[in-house]
Amino acid sequence: MKQSDFIEINGFKHLKYNGKTISNDEMLKCSKEYFELMKKRRSIRDFSDKEVPVEVIENIIKTASSAPSGANKQPWTFCVVANPKIKKQIRLAAEEEERKSYAQRMSEEWLDDLKHLGTDANKPFLETAPYLIIVFKQPFEYDNKGKKHQNYYVNESVGLACGFLISAIHNAGLVTLTHTPSPMRFLEKILQRPDNERAFLLLPVGYASDNTYVPNITKKSLQEVMKIY
Ligand code: IYR
């Protein structure tokens, strides 16, 4: 980096933005290709136990952690679980909560809305998938003097990081599922997270098992989701 690539604005060092500009034709091609890639993503519930190199998981998490966040606080932690004993503990605790949810906590309408997905309280993927990524949000953090500081737009920020995470998983040729056992406090206990962290989302990561079928669902049309003013 040359000295001239930096300037000072409002007393803070700024770096010359080096984004490349591409032609409209290239833009069209790239945007179409990315759409073609992403529209093949599906939530997978049947996992193979085939191993995944941990470096791939590291790259995926580096991608997720490059997401924008309120005041660039990056209020997240990605816990990666490969240990079969911890996966089993998580499965047992998640299934206990899910049994209560399916039996008592979820409304008739909610259960009806889920019927076509074929979900239930059994979560074998929590043990079969080679990795579980548990995303924690940090509503506040401590500085090195132990003083508490609030973070900003925490749900938005961590939601964005999870979007990046899911697209990176798909781009690597792997599959995942956004699993939301509720309530999720058991994850904080099992993984012994500090008191400024709350479980946000659990994503098993790996390969789909052979001969996996997925629900025949469609996405809303562009006309339904995009309004031009
Ligand atoms: N968290 C439960 C139920 C569930 C809820 C929604 I909204 C889904 O899209 C799918 C499942 C579970 O993981 O089974």
Over the stretch 96-130, which tens digit does the pLDDT of each residue have? 999 999 999 999 999 999 999 999 999 999 999 99
- pLDDT over 90 (residue 162): yes
Average pLDDT of the residues in 165-172:
98
Over the stretch 185-201, which tens digit does the pLDDT of each residue have? 999 999 999 999 999 99
Provide the CATH number for the domain formed by 43-225 in this structure: 3.40.109.10
Q: Is 26 helix (H, G, I), strand (E, B) or coil?
A: helix
Over the stretch 126-138, which tens digit does the pLDDT of each residue have? 999 999 999 999 9
- pLDDT over 70 (residue 3): no
Tell me how many degrees the CA angle 72-77-82 measures, rounded to the nearest 5.
150
For residue 105, the model assigns a pLDDT of 94
Indicate which atom in ligand 1 lies nearest the CA of residue 121: 14
For residue 165, the model assigns a pLDDT of 98
Over the stretch 200-225, which tens digit does the pLDDT of each residue have? 999 999 999 999 999 999 999 999 99
Ligand 1 site, residue 114, Cβ cutoff 6 A: yes
Spans of all domains in the chain: 43-225
| Alpha-carbon distance values, 176 to 72, 113, 179, 203, 220 (Å) | 27, 21, 9, 6, 22
Whole-number percent of the chain with pLDDT over 90: 95
| Alpha-carbon distance values, 43 to 5, 25, 38, 58, 222 (Å) | 43, 32, 12, 21, 21
Q: Which residue, judged by its Cα, is nearest atom 11 of ligand 1?
A: 119
Ligand 1 site, residue 128, Cβ cutoff 6 A: no
For residue 182, the model assigns a pLDDT of 87
For residue 5, the model assigns a pLDDT of 86
Cβ atoms of residues 175 and 169 within 8 Å:
yes
Q: How far is the CA of 203 from the centre of ligand 1 (A)?
A: 13
